[in-house]
Structure 1
Amino acid sequence: MADDSNATEAPTRREYVKYGGAVVGGGLLAGCASDSNSESAPTSSETGTGTATPSQTATEDDSYSVRMAPMGEVEFDAVPEDIFTILGHHADMLLALGRGDHINAMHGPGYHQALYEKLVAHLDGVSVDWEGLYSSWPPTKEKLYELDSDVHIADPAKVTTGEGWDDGDVREIGENVAPWFGNTLSGTNRTPPEGWTDRYEYYSLWEIFGKIAQVFQEQERYEALASIHDSVRQTIEENVPPTYDRPSAALVLLSADEDSGWGYKLNYPGYYAAHTRPMGAEDALADAVGEAYGDDGRNITLDYELLLEADPEVLLVLGPMTGHFNLDEIRQRLENDEVASEITAVQEGRVYAQGARRQGPILNLFQLEMTAKQLYPDQFGEWPGYINGEPYPEIPEDDQLFDRQRVANIVNGEF
């Protein structure tokens, strides 16, 4: 993307939301110097409030700052209102904080609309209206000037990898429109792009959520949701069967019309596995191709022969809950294929729908519940199955791993 010759003539960023401090010589963003000495490196724990140490600083004029890698410390004079974002985990966090209607952009808005409609159907008073928003990957500088957001909830290091972007473009938008605040590479603890390594840190999903909550002055709402997450995690940890009695499983995204797809690590660090890692199931694909499979643990290209070699007892299939894939058709194709029909999960009818790996707190709670039931029905109750096009299935109240009404109340600000 060529630089907009009028970009530097555009109005400067809003005065009430700004970076604190001056641009460090050679740095990309104000407050962008490495903060590795100010916060200890986070663990891969997803246990909730205990892992998110507050890092907010308030001043007498009501401005405040929040620190997170890779940005460093970012200063705000008021709570942002108009919000630009890109990826689903950040959009989910904004929804959980009652800011779903404040989002002006996201990557694949129709995709996320379809998925989250199936979840919020169980949360009274919570809805999403994202279809038709600017699809923001990769964004253009011109569009960011046009949107004139109060904050960009997106990872600047990730943005520099988009077509038409470099460090100077990221700095320009941060200075002239609004600050960046996001962390994406913690999805798989992916290696940062050149120039960002020294300032990057990896966080759990709930640690990132805690930081985003501080930006919007919603620490109490975060704490309330994190307490529910802690309870779900405790229930899972106390009830999963011994290691020797856990099934082998594979998490996959299958092609809609070919005998191929992609496999993803169940137990890898990062928030992409925040719903599978706590289950401690045996990763069938790791056994088949070795622990080093995939790009930074993100994926491996597979076909039915490799899937049969892995031979999972449970097959977790991404996509059907987004509306982009039909679970019944996937099952039928597997059952009718000479090779795939031999897979244990196919023969035993344990091919289940999943949501998405780029998850925030709301999707994480639902996916923890569904994955626990799909893998360990004796311990957590039978998974009722997902019907194509329908919401997340109804589960008897006594078998639910979390209280839907409690979550809805928190998202609606009633707590």
Structure 2
Amino acid sequence: MRRRRFLATTAVAGGLLAGCTGSDGGTNESTAGAGDGTGTAASDGTTGAGAATESGSTAAEGTGSEATDETGTASGGSYSVTMPPVGTVSFDSVPETWVANNGSWADMGVALGKQPPKAVWLTERYHTQYYDEIPGVSVDKSGMQSLYSDGVSKELFYELDGDVHVIDPNFLLNRYKGWNQTDIKEIETEIAPFFGNSIFSRGYDWHEDYPYLSLYEAFEKLSQVFQETERYEAFAGLHDDFQSNVSEVVPSGEKPAVAIMWAGSDQPDTFSPYLISPGTSFKQWRDLEVRDAFADTSVRDFHADRSEVDFETLLEVDPDVLLLRGHEDKTRKQFQNTVVSYLESNDTASALTAVENGDVYRGGPLYQGPITNLVLTERAARQVYGASDQLFDRQRVADIVTGSS
């Protein structure tokens, strides 16, 4: 029998893991056109309410007080960390192996100097090429497994045998109908606890009963699990400095109107639209204060009703900038030679202001953590504002990750 690395889990409030067969849970995600639980396309846009707090501090957001609960240290070296919706999880030692829901949490682990997780939801959506920007930091995904493969296997969790599952259990219960609360309890009892919160999107009805966390709130909690709070504090300070640099790039006048969409192919004729929301998926665009081209239109967010837009709709909205997701595996040149080239040659698409002006860019991934957010925000500042200076110190990041700072 493996040595247990946690002692107990106490739910934040009764019922938080109840009601887990909502509208999202009734559909097998393998058939959804751009669902975030599949291996084909993605949904991360939302129409959620409330502004996120993304500073290095841990100001609460959402609707509950659990977002700012602190760790507690018990006798014998055990300690506990509270995370909505799972409650307070007590550990008897620091987890050595782990499983993550997505690249947001995996990136946090890298920032904390940990080994990569044994698995994420989809390995192809954990974009490790961003680490090329950071000297001496890299991640080998060759041994990493995908949790999702036409479903989510409970047996895989036994094979992985992680010390902690950094996954919001409600995500499993609602985004894939094959799981129920008995399965969650079994994994917690027989293997290891769940410890996660779905932070990248604000569009889930089942998330309304417990608070979302900002990127740095979630990051702090994971640092408490891994007992790496000094690294977290170092990143929080770096992030504060970074935010100051970003604010200097943002112009004082009217900001560009951007349309963020999922483009499912190199020759897209329809797109899945996203409205900029407080989820961590849109952090760089909020920080750069761009305007949402879809905000005051009849266009609905993809997550709300699986909506699509075509070139005719885009001509009516005519955004200043097109930000197309689904192409992070391409270099800028590859994206230009495929997707942009197609839009420029299309009779209708070529009439769009963004296409005419050469303002069609990769729109960033679904998931980002503290390191990847730095890289993506700087890239976004170049795209929409023509920023030329580096906005963060690469070596400072590397020193925190390696423990040299």
Give the corresponding residue for 2:234: 224
- Report the Cα offset of residue 177 of structure 1: 0.5
Helix, strand or coil at the partner of 2:52: coil
- Separation in 1, partners of 2:306, 2:369: 20
> Is 1:314 equivalent to 2:308 in the alignment?
no
User: CA 1:177–1:265 in structure 2 vs 1: closer, same or farther (change >3 Å)?
Assistant: same
- Report the Cα offset of residue 300 of structure 1: 4.1
The equivalences for 1:247-258 within 5 A come to: 247-256=256-265, 257-258=267-268
- Separation in 1, partners of 2:182, 2:50: 29
1:150-191 deviations in whole A, cap 9, x for unaligned? 00011111011224201111111011110000111x323233
- Separation in 2, partners of 1:22, 1:153: 16
Give the corresponding residue for 2:195: 181
- Report the Cα offset of residue 21 of structure 1: 5.2
Tell me which amino acid in the other structure corresponds to 2:59. T
- Report the Cα offset of residue 130 of structure 1: 1.2
Give the corresponding residue for 1:345: 354
Work out which of the residue numbers 347, 355, 358 in structure 1 matches 2:367.
358
> Is 1:128 equivalent to 2:139 in the alignment?
yes
Give the corresponding residue for 1:105: 119
Give the corresponding residue for 2:52: 44
User: CA 1:285–1:27 in structure 2 vs 1: closer, same or farther (change >3 Å)?
Assistant: closer
Give the corresponding residue for 2:287: 278
- Report the Cα offset of residue 15 of structure 1: 2.5
Give the corresponding residue for 2:303: 295
Helix, strand or coil at the partner of 2:4: coil
1:88-138 deviations in whole A, cap 9, x for unaligned? 21111112112243x1111222442xx212x11121221111134221024
Structure 1 gaps, min length 5? 1-10, 30-40, 382-398
- Separation in 2, partners of 1:276, 1:371: 8
Work out which of the residue numbers 217, 220, 235 in structure 2 matches 1:210.
220
> Is 1:80 equivalent to 2:77 in the alignment?
no
Give the corresponding residue for 2:164: 151
1:14-38 deviations in whole A, cap 9, x for unaligned? 3232324599988869xxxxxxxxx
Give the corresponding residue for 2:28: none
Tell me which amino acid in the other structure corresponds to 2:315. L
Helix, strand or coil at the partner of 2:94: coil
- Separation in 2, partners of 1:126, 1:414: 13
Structure 2 gaps, min length 5? 19-48, 61-67
Contact 2:82-2:89 within 8 A present in 1 as well: yes
User: CA 1:287–1:235 in structure 2 vs 1: closer, same or farther (change >3 Å)?
Assistant: same
User: CA 1:327–1:320 in structure 2 vs 1: closer, same or farther (change >3 Å)?
Assistant: farther
User: CA 1:178–1:274 in structure 2 vs 1: closer, same or farther (change >3 Å)?
Assistant: same
- Separation in 2, partners of 1:299, 1:125: 41
- Report the Cα offset of residue 348 of structure 1: 0.6
RMSD value, Cα: 2.6
Give the corresponding residue for 2:104: 89
1:356-401 deviations in whole A, cap 9, x for unaligned? 0311111111111111221112xx33xxxxxxxxxxxxxxxxx100
Contact 1:42-1:204 within 8 A present in 2 as well: no
Work out which of the residue numbers 236, 256, 269 in structure 2 matches 1:259.
269
- Separation in 2, partners of 1:212, 1:123: 22
User: CA 1:264–1:339 in structure 2 vs 1: closer, same or farther (change >3 Å)?
Assistant: same
Helix, strand or coil at the partner of 1:289: coil
User: CA 1:192–1:77 in structure 2 vs 1: closer, same or farther (change >3 Å)?
Assistant: farther
User: CA 1:84–1:50 in structure 2 vs 1: closer, same or farther (change >3 Å)?
Assistant: closer
Tell me which amino acid in the other structure corresponds to 1:150. D
The equivalences for 1:369-384 within 5 A come to: 369-377=378-386, 380-381=387-388
- Separation in 2, partners of 1:406, 1:263: 36
- Give aligned pairs, total: 362
TM-score by length of 1: 0.80
Higher relative contact order (CA 8 A, sep 6+): 2
Helix, strand or coil at the partner of 1:131: coil
Helix, strand or coil at the partner of 2:8: coil
Give the corresponding residue for 2:78: 63
- Separation in 2, partners of 1:81, 1:294: 38
User: CA 1:255–1:110 in structure 2 vs 1: closer, same or farther (change >3 Å)?
Assistant: closer
- Report the Cα offset of residue 210 of structure 1: 0.8
Tell me which amino acid in the other structure corresponds to 1:226. A
- Separation in 2, partners of 1:252, 1:190: 16
- Report the Cα offset of residue 259 of structure 1: 0.5
Tell me which amino acid in the other structure corresponds to 1:231. D
User: CA 1:315–1:409 in structure 2 vs 1: closer, same or farther (change >3 Å)?
Assistant: same
Contact 1:82-1:104 within 8 A present in 2 as well: yes
Contact 1:287-1:310 within 8 A present in 2 as well: no
Helix, strand or coil at the partner of 1:249: strand
Give the corresponding residue for 2:173: 160
The equivalences for 1:12-31 within 5 A come to: 14-20=3-9
